Amino acid sequence: MNNDNQKQNRSGYILILLLLIGSVAFNVYQYKNHTTTVIQAASDIDSLINVRVAVERELVSTEMELEKYQGIAGNLDTLLREAKVEVAKQEQKIRELLRNEKNSDKLNKQLKRELATLSQLRDDYLEKIDSLMAENETLKLQNAQLNTTITNLNETKTGLEKQVATASQLKAEYVKVISYKKKSNGKFVESALAKKTNKIEACVTVMDNKVAIAGERIVYLRILSPEGKPLMGLNKGQFTLNGADEIIDATSNVKINYTGGKQDICIGYENDERILGNGTYTVEIYLDNTLVHASNYVLR
């Protein structure tokens, strides 16, 4: 009887022991499973955070990268405005995704896709910027070469214009200066004495010039006294010397109709009063506002 009781007790102990072992094993399994879940959840959270940080960094980096090229050229600024609009659209899309998607796993995957899209968008625009800048540099080089060509052409044109102006400048030759006294009958006869002189006349031949433009010209005569002052005749005038701003007083002037051939003219100073002093007078002749003759004339 005692043996049967002992067997029953032993069986009960074994059963209890097995139950305890099973419970412990189940608890260990539950603990490990819970720990794995916690670790996985933490890992997912870290991954999501990392992706969000990467997206934010890419947005800021893209905006700063594009801003560096602002103001370099007009066509580049147009492209940058377009790029900024596209980046703003992408940023808005990401903000809405962060606001509306509650599933962290889906959010993580979608953020990664948007990050890739944003990176590709930046790279595409940087490629376009590079192409435009290279094109602008080529245009600058071509423009510089064109400006050099234009400058050379202008210099050549200026040189030719100077040559033509020089070639078309009228010349005076065979200048003869004579002084006269006026007789009581009104006629003029030559005189060498200053106190007898009423008139100083310069006769000159305007030479032929096939390059010069035909038309009206004004010949100016300047006679400077021994003191250097211009004599003022009846047909006095004023003109501006070529290449200067100073207005010059002329003793006399006469208009001629130049046809391209030789032309003899006489122009002079005349005064009824005999007011000239003795000494050396300077005689100057100007054609086209350019000095073409200068000589000295002595009155005793």
Provide the pLDDT for residue 234: 80
Mean pLDDT of the chain: 79
**CATH placement of domain 172-299:** 2.60.40
Please name the residue ranges forming H helices in 101-206: 104-168
pLDDT of residue 227 exceeding 90, the answer is yes
pLDDT of residue 191 exceeding 50, the answer is yes
Reduced to 3 states (helix: H, G, I; strand: E, B; else coil), residue 113 is helix
In the block, which residue shows the tokens 């990050």? 115
φ, ψ (nearest 5 deg) of residue 184:
-65, -25
Q: What number of other Cβ atoms are within 10 A of residue 115's Cβ?
A: 20
pLDDT of residue 42 exceeding 60, the answer is no
Q: Give residue-wise pLDDT tens across range 159-179.
A: 655 555 556 788 888 999 999
- Sorting pLDDT into bands at 50, 70 and 90, what band is 257? very high
φ, ψ (nearest 5 deg) of residue 234:
-70, -30
Please, how many CA atoms are within 13 Å of residue 213, restricted to the half-sphere of its CB? 6
Closest CA to 81 of 128, 45, 35: 128
pLDDT of residue 41 exceeding 50, the answer is no
Q: What is the C-alpha separation between 79 and 204, in angstroms, rounded?
A: 73
Provide the pLDDT for residue 115: 77
Mean of pLDDT values over 194-222:
90
56-to-103, 113, 180 alpha-carbon distances in Å: 20, 14, 105
pTM of the complete model: 0.48
pLDDT of residue 223 exceeding 90, the answer is yes
> Read out DSSP for 258-286?
E-SS-EEEEEEEE-SS--PPSEEEEEEEE
CATH 2.60.40 domain extents, the chain: 172-299
Tell me the two tokens of residue 187.
Answer: 């006629």
Provide the pLDDT for residue 253: 93
In the block, which residue shows the tokens 């060509």? 149
